[in-house]
Amino acid sequence: MRLKNKIALISGASSGIGRSTAKLFAREGAKIVVNYFSSKKQAESVANEIKKIGSEALLVKCDVSKPSQVKSMVQQVLGKFNSIDILVNNAGVLLPKSFDEITDANWQKTMNTNLLGTYNCIRVVSRQMKKQKSGKIINLSSIASIVGSLSSLPYSISKAGIDAITKTLAPELGKYNIQINSVAPGPVKTDLLVKNYSQEVIKKLAKETPLGRIAKPDDIARAILFFASQDSDYITGQTLIVDGGRIRR
């Protein structure tokens, strides 16, 4: 088991990539903190699946855009497990709007959840990791940070900001044996994708991908596992593109 007895906090773990990552980590021996904001029923389902695998799960409701809630969440985690070995910043939103249709509310919600949420979690969790002198932080970026989004300027900017956080913090956190990296998926078959794009668009995206299909959440979860494991101990400040070959550089 690659993550035996590790404590992993996964934001937005109730569905999609977060859900797949939580279950994969549990199969690799980790104890999972299942963070959610609105989908309690889905989060409970994830926790139950983790328990069936044979691992432990702690369910914590938290809006990651609120610093006070993040602080409370981390206190709950430390109260139960005494440490946090892995942080996966997965919580995010995509609110498709053309440039002329973007509202202040649309902009703020995207930035607050995607970018500020990532920052808030790193800020609090890294304090504990510094005390431990070890830790793995994996941020969910997107190829939209490189080539732009199909439908949301704020989304692209928020993901580019996440890559900037990853690169900027790597030297500072490296002094404490903490590795921080990003995973940048292409299109992934999640509720978020199905909700925001038509089947015609999704089929087109699959056809344009060299591997001939849209990613499954498990495809991204395995890349996250790489960065969470000892296999990546000498890698930090990097963004790994996982997009079936859409971007080649």
What is the chain's Cα-based Rg?
A: 17
CA–CA gap between residue 47 and residue 65 (Å, rounded)? 23
Sign, CA dihedral 195-196-201-206, equals negative
Q: In what order do the strands lie in the sheet with 31-36?
A: 57-61, 31-36, 7-10, 86-89, 135-140, 178-185, 239-242
- Residues sharing a CB contact under 8 Å with residue 110, sequence separation 6 or more, in sequence order: 93, 94, 95, 152, 154, 155, 158
Q: Where are the beta strands (DSSP E) in 39-107?
A: 57-61, 86-89
Q: Minimal CA–CA distance to 37: which of 57, 17, 66?
A: 66
Rounded CA-CA distance 137/177 in Å is: 11
Task: Determine whether 155 is an active site residue.
Answer: yes
Beta pairing partners, 183: 140, 240
Instruction: Choose the catalytic residue: 155, 176, 197, 234.
Output: 155
Catalytic center residues = 155
